[in-house]
Amino acid sequence: MASSFDYVIVGAGTAGCVLANRLSEDPGIRVLLLEAGGSDRHPNVRIPAAFAKQFRTRLDWDFATEPEPGCSDRSLYIPRGKALGGSSSMNAMLYTRGRPLDYDAWERAGCEGWGWTDVLPYFKRSEDSFLGATEVHGTGGPVRVERLRSPRPLTRRFIESAQQAGIPFNPDYNTPEQDGASPVQVFQRGGRRWSAADAFLRPAMRRGNLTVTPRAQALGLESSDGRVTGVRYRDRRGRAQVALPTRETIVSAGSIGSPQLLLLSGYGPAEHLRELGIEVAEDLRGVGANLQDHPYCVCIWESRVPEGLADAERPGALLEFLMRRTGPLTSTVAEALAFVRSRPGLPAPDIEFHFGPAYFNDNGFDERDGHAFTLAPVLLTPRSRGTIRLRSRDPLAKPAIRGNHLTEPDDAAALVAGVELAREIASTGPLAEAAGAEIFPGASVAGADALEEDVRRRVELLYHPAGTCRMGVDDEAVVDPELRVRGTSGLRVVDASIMPLIPGGNTNAPTIMIAEKAADLILGRELPLD
């Protein structure tokens, strides 16, 4: 059975939801959006503090790396949202854009039109910020950005202690000046999650020219004479289907799913494809290469004051959330950020601290009674690069993910410096008054060598895979600056996989920006000037 549309989008994650909305704004354009997951109506999607309860459930693709040589040969967990909204329905909802120099670096690498001054209007177009309309913020867009409604008192202690430790207060880290400690800005509307499905997809689903098909597992791309002509998928009843775009196929399956689908379809390193018996459609060595993520290592202290999230699961907290959309369940767990430089001479912060007024270890699977707080340094610009490769020709098999995290010495050194600064902040000012025993790394772990060993033993990932279908103009690039896959026609990739360099911050907002700009590129229109 086959169906025909102008555009077929694979993946209803952050980018796919944006594209489905923007492309279907023209009633003359027919759009099909395929999503392997199902509904996003689960309470753990709606309740901000419950995001980690989605991990390793039917809402999660549940990926993991191969044993990592730089991380004590451990496999590192990578949750990815498997529902409408994708990972925007699962993440911690932190609205961060990254640094201007990130996007300027994209432009210097040959990605014309992707510098900071080029992408800022797209951030602003999508945004409805509590900060109001300014030179760097927008209002009236689909993406509601708010401050936390009920931050915990421990979070105020952290911001004050960071200042006493020499980290300035920054009222808005989403300006060109990123350095400093700040309360988080969040993807929320009225205290509940505001995902890409909420912001972009659900309003567009009322349009007759947009078809959204959940539980549709993409199996491969069909091509003829150098052009992608269709998407093979399995519908919710297990039947084979083919979607036939008359204009383009757009792959927005994320930094793991997009390279996997391209490889299954014959777009990738020829040697790897031939080893698996896959016919080579185009020898693209960059497919699945350039994998980046943000490693982080938690530092946790007992809290002597009951000012955190330890009581978030009590019945009264749920009632408060349901009745007033306030209270601890509106927390994103990470309630404040601090962007710092691990050593002098850096052009921008290379460490982002996440402060949580709670015990958060092992991706939330390790639970502990009592009040605690977590201060986690995150490496913003890792030098390490990894790969994604197929294990087999089976489209349902999980790919082999090798992040090579912390294999570059500078990466580990920066995280060690972050742990040392976390200890300094926790021993300063009002946070020191609240701090009890150091749980991790623990008082017995002292000295640079011991801290590095501890970091390698406990490091986790912040769920920001990026870069595996890199944009560029060189032979290793997968897509050009208009996000068209090189060597073929009728095919684009639009999601975080096209990032040449991972931005210095959480990646959901940049992914929205990418899809906003991609919609204009696809339709050949210019962004209206302010």
Task: Give residue-wise pLDDT tens across range 45-65.
Answer: 999 999 999 999 999 999 999
The reply to whether 100 falls in a domain is yes
Which amino acid is located at 158 in the chain?
Answer: F
Residues 205 and 258 in one domain: yes
Does 405 qualify as catalytic in the annotation?
no
With 0.85 as the threshold, say if the pTM is over it.
yes
- Is residue 174 within 8 A of residue 185, CB to CB? The reply is yes
- Residue ranges of the alpha helices (H) in 198-334? 202-204, 254-264, 270-275, 315-324
**Nearest CA among 168, 256, 258, 245 for reference residue 218:** 258
* Residues facing 245 on adjacent strands: 5
The reply to whether 113 falls in a domain is yes
Residues 363 and 481 in one domain: no
Q: How far apart are CA 379 and CA 294, in angstroms?
A: 6
The reply to whether 178 falls in a domain is yes
Q: Which two tokens stand for residue 232?
A: 């093979």
Residues 233 and 97 in one domain: yes
The reply to whether 314 falls in a domain is yes
Q: How many domains does the chain have?
A: 2
The reply to whether 491 falls in a domain is yes
- Is residue 97 within 8 A of residue 123, CB to CB? The reply is yes
Residue 271, class by beta-carbon neighbours within 10 Å (0-12 exposed, 13-18 middle, 19+ buried)? exposed
Residues 320 and 226 in one domain: no
The reply to whether 74 falls in a domain is no
Residues 138 and 231 in one domain: yes
Residue 367, class by beta-carbon neighbours within 10 Å (0-12 exposed, 13-18 middle, 19+ buried)? exposed
The reply to whether 62 falls in a domain is no
Residues 472 and 503 in one domain: yes
What is the DSSP-derived secondary structure letter of residue 508?
H
Instruction: Look at the block and give the residue holding tokens 């994209």.
Output: 106
Residues 157 and 34 in one domain: no
- Is residue 155 within 8 A of residue 355, CB to CB? The reply is yes
Residue 247, class by beta-carbon neighbours within 10 Å (0-12 exposed, 13-18 middle, 19+ buried)? middle
Q: How far apart are CA 90 and CA 52, in angstroms?
A: 8
Give how far Cα 61 sits from Cα of 1, 20, 55, 83, Å: 27, 22, 9, 10
The reply to whether 70 falls in a domain is no
Residues 343 and 426 in one domain: yes
CB within 8 A of 165, min separation 6: which ones?
421, 424, 425, 428, 429
What is the rounded radius of gyration, in angstroms, for the C-alpha atoms of the chain?
22
Q: Which two tokens stand for residue 137?
A: 């913020």
Write down the catalytic residue from 137, 354, 371, 464.
Answer: 464
Which amino acid is located at 347 in the chain?
Answer: P
Residues 356 and 423 in one domain: yes
CATH number at residue 316: 3.30.410.40
Which amino acid is located at 503 in the chain?
Answer: P
Q: Which two tokens stand for residue 507?
A: 């990646």
Q: Please write down the long-range contacts of 172-177, taking CB distance under 8 Å and 24 or more positions apart.
A: 172/131, 172/136, 173/96, 173/337, 173/339, 173/505, 174/95, 174/96, 174/97, 174/136, 174/137, 175/136, 176/99, 176/100, 176/116, 176/136
Residues 174 and 234 in one domain: no
Residues 137 and 247 in one domain: yes
Q: Which two tokens stand for residue 53?
A: 């309860």
* Domain end position, chosen among 439, 458, 477: 458
Q: How far apart are CA 107 and CA 503, in angstroms?
A: 13
Residues 448 and 520 in one domain: no
Q: Would you call 183 helix, strand, or coil by DSSP? A: strand
Domain interval for residue 115:
1-50+82-146+185-292+387-396+464-530
From the CB of residue 190, how many other CB atoms can be counted at a distance below 10 Å? 12
CATH number at residue 237: 3.50.50.60
For each successive 10 residues of the chain (530 residues), what is the average pLDDT?
Answer: 82 98 97 97 96 98 98 98 98 97 97 98 98 97 98 98 98 97 98 98 97 98 96 96 97 98 98 98 98 98 97 94 97 98 95 98 96 98 98 97 97 98 98 98 96 98 98 97 98 98 98 98 77
Q: Which two tokens stand for residue 205?
A: 């689903």
